Amino acid sequence: MSTTAVTSPIDEVKTTPWAGGRSPFSVEYGKMMMWFFLLSDAFTFSSLLIAYGALRFSATAWPAADHIFQSVPLTSIEHGAPLVFVGIMTFILIMSSVTMVLGVEAGHRGARKEVAWWMIATVIGGFMFLGCQALEWSHLFHEGFGWGKMPKEIGEFFPDGTKPSAVYTQQFANLFFTITGFHGFHVFTGVIINIIILVNVLLGTYDRRGTYGMVEKVGLYWHFVDLVWVFVFTFFYLV
Amino acid sequence: MSEIKHTEIHEEHAEHDTMTRKKIWNVFFVLLGITAIEFFIALYLVPKNIVPIHVANPIYIVLTLAKAFYIVAYFMHLKFEKIGMVYSILVPTLFIIGLILVLTNESHHWVDLR
């Protein structure tokens, strides 16, 4: 981008990114399309979350997250540990995002073995998250929650001083399973894609191709899944 | 003209200025720290009535957006892309703000229908 050879203002115009002759984005096709796919996916997720927000805003009372999520599956803790389990899930997903980006970094150096190990770690993190979500869902199913289903006794889920409402409890259950289910489906597909990429890394496909760009593209997808979880976590468990 | 040249020089610099392992772990600790603060508010400050819930909620949202920035900018590498690429991803997300405004406004009318 040296401007020393510029002799007139007209020449200077030709060096701008939009002057033609080269890509103003300077990313490869697949990476740009992954970004635009993620943008459309962001619209889908925000539509779901905003619909949840609108229903919650118009409700007179809403079940409190720290009253519903009190147990830690696989332990004897059934009550009195609000949000502990979701904290573990959040940590697992952030951690797997880190292993993914470390894999991408190793890919830039063309270190095949390192990429493979970081991809394995990412896949394990994805399975751990899915396992945690399965445990949490089955726990809620046993309590009586589900699409179109809720426990008979709902008084304990509402904050003190508000009137328990069956309608809002049902709305909460439907929205919770729909949105975390849609996110979990993304995690599941992400794990499948990561495994495919891992196999290709082990087969040396990207060494032959001379670039580890594919690792970067699935990395974008995986980070997006983490990004969505950050929002789901805030709006379902904290607010 | 000089502005364009300036951003170009900045971008050229930024392309070499990519993620190192040290930076990745720094971002990880930032994300972990923000999450820890959120848990501290949710599990200690709010139940003890030190911070009322209507103050805590905006704090959660700001902290969430901060985490989103770190994930998108550093993990997804968007901060190091060309400015045209950055804008073509970020500007369309303004539609999301539009939907938030429309539906929160609408929800106030639903209250009257309940």
Segments of chain B with pLDDT less than 70: 1-17
Q: Sort out which chain A residues have CB atoms less than 8 A from B108's CB and list them.
A: 57-58
Angstrom distance (rounded) from CA B47 to CA B50: 8
Considering the domain boundaries, does residue B44 fall inside one?
A: yes
- pLDDT for position B2: 44
Considering the domain boundaries, does residue B37 fall inside one?
A: yes
At the top level of CATH, the class of A27-238 is mainly alpha
- pLDDT for position A79: 75
- Total count of domains within chain B: 1
Considering the domain boundaries, does residue B106 fall inside one?
A: no
- pLDDT for position A21: 76
Please indicate if any CB of chain B lies within 8 Å of the CB of A1: yes
Please indicate if any CB of chain B lies within 8 Å of the CB of A6: no
Residue ranges making up the domain that contains B45: 19-76
Contact A6, A12 (CB under 8 A): yes
- Name the DSSP class of A83: T
In Å, what is the CA distance from A62 to each residue of A6, A144, A214?
A: 65, 17, 44
- pLDDT for position A8: 62
Angstrom distance (rounded) from CA B85 to CA B105: 32
Considering the domain boundaries, does residue B2 fall inside one?
A: no
Which one of B7, B75, B82 makes the best mutation probe of the A interface by having the most chain A beta carbons within 10 Å? B75
- pLDDT for position A7: 61
- pLDDT for position B14: 43
Considering the domain boundaries, does residue B85 fall inside one?
A: no
Considering the domain boundaries, does residue B5 fall inside one?
A: no
The per-residue pLDDT string of chain A (239 residues; one tens digit each, 9 = 90 and over) reads: 555 555 666 655 567 777 777 788 888 899 999 999 999 999 999 999 999 999 998 998 899 888 888 888 777 777 777 888 898 999 999 999 999 999 999 999 999 999 999 999 999 999 999 999 999 999 899 989 999 999 988 888 898 888 889 999 999 999 999 999 999 999 999 999 999 999 999 999 999 999 999 999 999 999 999 999 999 999 999 88
Q: Which residue in A1, A35, A39 is closest to B12 by CB distance?
A: A1
- pLDDT for position B10: 45
Considering the domain boundaries, does residue B67 fall inside one?
A: yes
In Å, what is the CA distance from B105 to each residue of A53, A78, B40, B84?
A: 11, 39, 32, 33
Considering the domain boundaries, does residue B58 fall inside one?
A: yes
Please indicate if any CB of chain B lies within 8 Å of the CB of A82: yes
